[in-house]
Structure 1
Amino acid sequence: MDVVRVESARRRFLRYGRLDPAPGALRPEVLASWERSRAGEPVFVGHEPAGSAVAEADEVFAGFFRLTPHLPCALALVGYDGVVRVRHDGDDGLAELLDAVRLTPGFRHGEDDVGTTAAALAAHLDGAARVDGPEHLHPDLVWLGEAAAVVPRDDGGPPDAVVVWEHGGSGSGALGLALARRLAADVGALVRDRGHRRARAVHEGYAAAEAEGHAWVLATDGAFLLTSPGVRRLPTADQRVLGDLVLAGAVLAEPASRHVDLLSGRCAEVTVEPVPGGGCVVAGGPLAESRVATVPEAVRRQGSHVAPTARRDYAADLRTRASGSHVEARRRANRELLSPYLRARQEVAAAVGQGRNQLLLGETGVGKRTLAVEQFRRAHPDGRIRVVDCAALGADGPDPLARVRRELSDRPYLVVLHQMNLLGPVAARRLDESLRTLVALPGGPTVAGCVDSVSIDATRPYGLLLRHFHETVRVPALRYRADELGEIALSILHSLSGGRSLRLSLQVVRVMEGYAWPGNVRELADVLRYVVARKPVGVIQAPDLPASCFAARAPRMSMLETAQCDAIIQALYESRGNRYKAAEMLGIARSSLYRKIDAFGISYIG
């Protein structure tokens, strides 16, 4: 490569926007990339793999640097969208240079962001490519030499690229290109073997749980379900409860010990152990005690608490000795009462894992669509998603689900019907006809319907569609998720700040917890967007919030808040004011208990 001529051509292109005639020293594919590009700045978009070969690339890169440590290069996996997914460094000095130009995981370096890159060129050439020094359009990258090769995949996943980065002065472009091809082939081989490796890991986990002597063992990789003889002897309804639990565990990938109430009236203690790669093993058995206190379903449901008809004796349980199973059942019921979103998430994960159509209820802006899409992505990273805005459907026009019918394949498919409550009568009939034929197809999609209401009104037009759904999930409002509000706000802030240093003070979190959030998560995002526009870096303090966040909360509590307050008062009486014991009885963290005591204005009990 003639460095001087290429650098001269790059400067002329940046000045005039074209090269006429094109110099012979400039490769045609590089010039074509320049013409597609614009030299901007890398954008932080976060890390959402969605089917990328992240785990496989991590394994291959780590093995490479174990064999050849301190090699003056860096290896990366770059997604089809230009986002850096994984990076492994062999040289500290080169790592500092890459950090300075934001070639780090989570940042997008597409042609529309920073101009020509080897990953973008390899994607257009559908193979491998290299970009040396001044062939980069962006001035911050003219020192960089890079080679990229597309990871070969036959599973329909996104076309990632393995990139080898090195300093342009090393002059080893041909060797870097060969290395990129070799590593891409290794990553592709692991991707092709992904299903077999996951199945082997699930079988090994199942065998290990059986060897430990558990009465009930279930294991799944999302495609098949292994059950022990003890599980197969259970009633069908109990088997389904345990099956939902193991499927939800595979989607959520969170280890836990669970107390499970079976529909037959029995109770069980089980452990949920996720398997790396997308599987789960559930092992356990029935409780030894036969006396089990059942918790009325009305108490466990959001918004369905039935108030007592007489004055409540908060110290009644102090005069009786409750069995261990009764204490555990009450702790579980209190945990579900005080953290209703956890139950909603588990129900959605189980329904997605089994491909059951579900109806999500909740106030406007609580994140029903986000919850369904998030759990589907976790269960099926390579699946396809289509969101249908029911508010935009009219009495005429094309079939709203015709595109879904054309796109159906062997890949999982999720159809989200957004704002079903805004359907008109004619649009509801058209959608009903489309759904009836679509769900009857073999390998049809999973359907998630979103209704912006806390209850169902079957007399509305969307009532015609209710027959297509198998389950109902209630998504709680943001005001019932005070314990998670800080984490939710930080997550939204992270996506809005573009990687800048921006934090929430404890005072701000307390103000947020005291606000009712009538607009739910959508209003929270609007508030944080307002704050970020006025304070792009630093620690956000209470004066940075808009005045609306300091509005007094309505003194009247909802039925769910009344039930939560009653449960906390009961626990404080039984523990004689010991908040540590009360939190343990309620199954929540002490910090969560303190926040709820302050929010409800509960005075000291002891």
Structure 2
Amino acid sequence: MHRVADRRIKIAAARADFLRFGHAETQSVPGVVAASWQRSFSAGVDASTSQAVFHNDLDLTGRLMRCSEPVIARLSDEMAEMPLSIVLTDYKARILSRSETDKTIGTLLDDVSLAPGFNYAEASVGTNGIGTVLESGQPLYIVGPEHFLEHLQPFACAGSPIRDPITGRVEGVLDISCLIEDASPLMHSLVRSAAHEIERNLLADRSQRQQALFEEYVRVDSRNRGAVMAIGGTVVMGNAVAQSSFSPDEQWTIQEHARYLMISPGQPVDQIELSSGKVVHVRGKRVVMGPDVAGIVVVVEIVSEPAPVPVPASRLTLPLRRHRLKKPIPADSSAILHDAESLLGKRASSGVVTALTAGAPLLVLGEAGGGKVSLLAELYRQIVPLGRSVVFGAEQLNQHGVHSAINNDLISALARPTLYIFRNIDRFTEAATAELEAFLVTREAGAGGLAVTVSQPDLQADLAAARPYTALLQHFTTSVTVAPLRHRQGDLPDIVTRVLARRAGLRPATVSAGAMRVISRYPWPGNIRQLEEALDTALLTRPVGAIQAEDLPAYCHGGAPRLLSAIEAGERDLIVGALHKADGNRMRAAESLGIARSSLYRKLKTFGITVTDS
């Protein structure tokens, strides 16, 4: 007992020297603890004032919680006579659950924010039995003065990582915490044993999911002679036909699209074009286990293949290479999606072209600012070079009426082919909706031309509420969805080039690699319209030359999990500016802002700020 007390006194003295001088005699300090102190200091953790950050975006119904609950319940029953707490965290050190055997220990842990929702990562609260376990990747027993923060000194914590037995990835941490006077080295063995039991549950859970996926794959494969694939988590299976019919790149495209179908609403059936020019029909079946989708099994049929290119006999001895030539950007850069690289972008363009060519009324859906009108107008210009597009907004038609607007347009039309685009029909009044329906009936009766509407409704809710515009849906036989920008990452470089060409005009303006990395990481909730605004801001800072990361608006550098207030947005902008001026050095940025490094780190996490070198 005296040895333990003497050891803690030496560790406390070494910690005090470290906090005072930045270094200390570490012979009495375990190496993993000394390394953690150094990381905590470098991360800007203040030993006196740093606090855990709260998060509300936790997964409380996932596999980890499901597989841990019976183990934690058993452990709580077995340790009911000891005043301790059992804590489960995710892989980011965010506390998912806490179960205590004594109310007193629960109250004390509340005082130090060791409670559900709070983040105990080492970069936030220094050395502890959760964050340091994640940093070191090993089970640890952290007692009293080994903690970096002052207010954690009274506690002892034993933590163990929980690894996925298949992937080896750390899924979370199981921690047992109590007061120092109630601590025992046996806590270390106890928590490791419990963590291993959770890992066995994860294996059984994953095995059940994989077994269900495998059984469905075998069943579907036995009934089909074509290509069959199964995709779920890290598992990918394919029969011999799939392996021989598609190249590795084609298989990857099909697998990624199958993942998209797995989580999308509606039936998992689709037709897609691969990079080789093959068109394939994908028909899938989701494999469901309880509340979760374990995976999807798809049957892939080739609908058409590109015609082979004849090669002169004199060149047959040369190795053949296929080149896919990218179309040049048209002079009118208002076209944003028609040369899309992403599968969803290509689909939107293809669907619009098919409908416009057939002269069918077309319903176009998608989030605001996604480029729907630009897509329609440009594709119509390509299909009907002498035609024109006329756009009517909801506000205009609600005020002046559909008949009045169209009659005024017909006076100046000079009999040219016309595409009428009605924007946001879900915002039409009942009167405007009735006029538009009469217009659609007239054109369906043979008046010629096209009628196309654009909207971004919540169809399920709107149909249930019988909103006026839903009565128009019966007049459309074709609909196309323009996916939001965040789902078309492959299109971003081309879209940025087009937007910049339009916004900069004749000025020589480009985007640096660093700026493009920032653009690629941001989710763009406002879609192309927001991207245009961001590039406009950057062009004000750097009107010519290569736009750098620091030229983009501050919000592009972060992904805050909630809408910021005006004051918070201003604070975020100041922080981003200070970081850029300090070349990313957080210590100098904190000094220029007049705040502690720990405060800066908390704000970086709160605002989701990341700084990318240009």
Instruction: Indicate whether the TM-score tops 0.5.
Output: no
TM-score by length of 2: 0.44
Larger radius of gyration between Structure 1 and Structure 2: 2
TM-score by length of 1: 0.45
